[in-house]
Structure 1
Amino acid sequence: MVAGSLREELLSQGNKDAFVAEARAVLDAEVRAKRGPGGMVIKGAYRTVNAVHATFVDGVLRALLPDFLADLQPHWDAFQADSTEDFGQYLAQHGHSAADSLLAVVDRRAAGSSYRSVVKLYGQLRGQAHKHVVQALPAVGELIQRNMLRP
């Protein structure tokens, strides 16, 4: 596998734009897959944010990905030493700690954000966020592994 860190490899000058676009596609798919009353709330909030701030989600991904990848680095390192061949599966097996660290990044950013309406939406959804992040980890792991193995 690639020797560099997740941040170095995935957010390098030649990879960053494509990786951000793929991360956005994963996020969009995860939101689309939500079902039930909670899913309707998430979909509505996501539509609202995209309608009010057309480039907001891409900007947030660009801002958060360096910290997300830094927080996922220990999981990647452990995965490489493990016998598991699928990073998505590995993250799913360690979902609670991975979700906690990713949500801590968002919590810190939200606390300092000037987008009060978005922070309010996030606050309303935060109670269910851990469950949704855990559900998304297999797709996140697959995205990372595919891009780390890309020549």
Structure 2
Amino acid sequence: MDKDNIYQDYGDFIFKYLLTLTNNLDLAEELTQETFYQAIKSINNFYDNGTAKFSTWLCAIAKNVWLQELNRKDKNLQLKESLQGESIAFYDLEDDYIKNEDKVMFFKKAHQLNEDKREILYLRLLGDLSFKEIGSVLEKSENWARVTFYRAKLELRKDE
């Protein structure tokens, strides 16, 4: 078996095999490259053993590469999930301070708005009401609530 021609001889075959396993073109290409890298690294093991067909040996390597990829993705997902759970448990004083400072600045700016804009802002952001509900509460139209809210946002951003 000529090491230089292994990829030319078996590359398409291994790629198609991995494509059936992964159902992902990019991943199959990446794993094909890794398969041939691993095969070249351990080609002496094939010659020492010599009991299987070369294509079967390559398929075994490809399957192991694919299983390693699945295992790696599973571990990354588990790590991500565990870190998301832990991020809630950590208390970051600096982040808390910045959030509170932002809130204070927001309310200072909001307090400077006229009464209608301020009330719509509070109902929309703090009360989580729809524009239709805001219009009903203030005995105005839904469109009036939308336009007034938009103008309030513009006024708040004006000073930024």
Q: TM-score, normalised by structure 1?
A: 0.31
Q: TM-score, normalised by structure 2?
A: 0.30
State which structure, 1 or 2, has the greater radius of gyration over its C-alpha atoms: 2
Greater relative contact order: 1 or 2 (C-alpha under 8 angstroms, separation 6 or more)? 1
